[in-house]
Structure 1
Amino acid sequence: METHDIEPEHWLAKTTPAATIVIFRRDPEGGAAQILMVERNASLKFAGGATVFPGGKVDPADRELAARIAGDGADIEDLAARVAAVRETLEETGLVVGIEGVVDGTIAAEARRMLISVGDLAQVLDAYGWRLAPERLVSFARWWPKHRTERIFDTRFYLADLGTGAVDIEVDATENRHLFWASAQGALDLAAQGLIKIIFPTRRNLERLAQFASFEDTRIHAEATPVDTISPFMEQRDGAAWLMIPDGLGYPVRGEPLESAQRG
């Protein structure tokens, strides 16, 4: 087998740090845990029309807040990504995760409106007497594609649990057009039927998540699995190019033919 990657100088300067969060709730019908999926507007340059997990890029204000709350020896980049995951979730969906304090549907809606207005999670925390609880987010993966033709995001993935999930979600019409709950396998089935579009990293992560029926099982798996940076690479198989990821990181399916892979 022949593999190909690209040298750092081709991608390092173009990399944007980002964060994504896989939000769980219990299935009201008693089936496998459901996760929140976001269908992005087709007009967006990156993953336009694709169904993904909530998230977005790490902003300077996220780093400032991370530096403010960081303890000795803290990983500021990881902490800033957790701040971004909390902020983007509230902004995109109206859900409050990774926060300690009084929250109900009315408060969450007010906080979301304030966040959209001021663009700074720190101000929202102060206004509502909330404390950031980044430890409530479970590290799951880190994806850093390094392809010349792609917009490059160094994305950290986290897990969070809503429990019963008796909450409202509301679409952010500027970037997203539809929010829905589905089990990981259910989302894969929708993609197989052509009802949603999923890009290569989302497909691999859904396949990994579909191995488990509950948030607790997924959390145990995540905490026992190394979070090494995943940079997909090309591999020749029987004369065909495949897009692959490394072994040993918890993924039951490591790749697919390049011609069928949706990369953004």
Structure 2
Amino acid sequence: MSETEQRTSIPAATVVVFRNAADGGPPEILMTVRAKAMTFAGGMAVFPGGRLDNADRDLAARLGSDDEDETAHRIAAVREALEETGLAVGIAQQPTADEVRRARELLLESGALAPVLEAMGWTLELDRIVPFARWNPRNERIPRIFDTRFYLADLGTGAVELEIDDTETTHLFWTTAAGALEAADRGELALIFPTRRNLERLAGFASYAEARAQAEAIPVRTITPWMEDRGGETWLRIPSDAGYPVDSEPLTSVARG
């Protein structure tokens, strides 16, 4: 058994938060730049997210879902968005900016979402957290292997406040998916392989509704990139039928997380 096969993937969730563009153009998505000191994807631009916690699983069990594992991952996406960005997604209520700020303070104190929901009188509406993709890049070059589920969420309006979690994040910004790719091509952003592929996929959508429709039409399956030799050059590949417009990249140009 190889070293990669022996290593256990860490369950994680990340969320692509959409908002309407003020100029009526393509929707904007929220991205973060991870602190350079972070072991995984340090200095890289990513979507908000992080590892699944035991408290997420405990809350999922209390909610009594038919699929507690999936529910726990959606809870993690809600929790991480609130913790890292100060945004409340997947909540049935429409909280004010002050309420969301208070909820974030409570979350940072407790480290769990359940007591925050109780204190704020909020209920989860996890249908608003839409499964989009799942990546598990089992590669020995990666210091930690995360089995990450990607979700979509929609804010609609852009009138929201953002707050950095400066322990993990150095910068928060709204951009179109195409804009993020262009910035990366100019050397202004660094993107790991899964983020780039997902941005390319997201760039094809003219609205959140289009993104959600495709996400619901293409069943999520775990994507594990593999290496392939092409004329003496090594390429990193993913399946060609998983909804991604670009399914390979030369290994020499792939940013390491």
Which category of TM-score, normalised to the shorter sequence, fits these structures?
Answer: over 0.9
Helix, strand or coil: the match of 2:197? helix
Q: Whole-Å Cα distance in 2 between the matches of residues 57 and 239 of structure 1?
A: 37
What is the match of residue 180 of structure 1? 173
2:136 maps to which residue?
Answer: 144
**Cα distance change of structure 1 residues 251 and 8 upon mapping to structure 2, 3 Å threshold:** farther
Name the residue aligned to 2:97.
105
Partner of 2:36: 42
Kindly indicate whether the alpha-carbon contact (under 8 Å) linking 2:31 and 2:172 is maintained by their aligned counterparts in 1.
Answer: yes
In 2, the alpha carbon distance for the partners of 1:11 and 1:58 equals 21
**Partner SS state of residue 189, structure 1:** helix
Instruction: State the identity as a percent.
Output: 55
Which structure 2 residues correspond to residues 134-213 of structure 1 after superposition, within 5 A? 134-150=126-142, 151-213=144-206
| Matched residue, 1:84 | 76
Is the aligned partner of 1:224 residue 2:229?
no
Q: Which one of the candidate residues 113, 129, 133 is aligned to 2:125?
A: 133
Q: Is the 8 A contact 1:11 1:152 kept in 2?
A: no
Contact 2:3/2:140 (<8 A) preserved = no
1:115 maps onto 2:94 in alignment: no
Distance 1:54 1:93 in 2: 7
Q: Which structure 1 residue ranges, 4+ long, deviate > 4 Å from structure 2? A: none
Distance 2:149 2:71 in 1: 10
Task: Write the deviation string for residues 148-176 of structure 1: whole angstroms up to 9, x where unpaired.
Answer: 23210000000000001210111110000
Spell out, residue by residue over 1:80-100, the C-alpha distance to the aligned partner (whole angstroms, 9 max, x if none).
Answer: 110100000000000000011
CA positional deviation for 1:226: 1.9
* Equivalent in the alignment of 2:255: 262
Kept in 1: contact 2:137–2:223 (CA 8 A): yes
Instruction: Report the alpha carbon displacement of residue 236 of structure 1 after superposing the two structures with TM.
Output: 0.6
Question: Which residue matches 1:95?
Answer: 87
Q: Give the alignment's Cα RMSD to 1 decimal.
A: 1.2
TM-score for the superposition, normalised by structure 2: 0.97
8 Å contact kept, 1:82–1:137: yes
Question: Cα deviations across residues 114-160 of structure 1 (Å, max 9, x unaligned)?
Answer: 10011010000000111111111111000001112321000000000
Aligned equivalents of 2:108, 2:84: Cα separation in 1: 9
Q: What is the number of equivalent residue pairs in this alignment? A: 256
| Distance in structure 1 (CA, Å) of the matches to 2:96 and 2:241 | 41
In structure 2, the residue matched to 1:57 is: 51
Mean CA deviation greater in 193-202 or 74-83: 74-83
CA distance in 2, matches of 1:70, 1:206: 34
Amino acid at match of 1:189: E
1:19 aligns with: 13
**1:27: how far off?**
0.4
- Mapped partners of 2:105, 2:6: distance in 1: 35
Where do 5+ consecutive residues of structure 2 fail to align?
none
Deviation at 1:258, TM superposition (A): 0.4
Please say if residues 134 and 150 of structure 2, whose CA atoms lie closer than 8 Å, have aligned partners that are also in contact. yes
Tell whether the 8 Å contact from 1:11 to 1:148 is kept in structure 2 after alignment: no
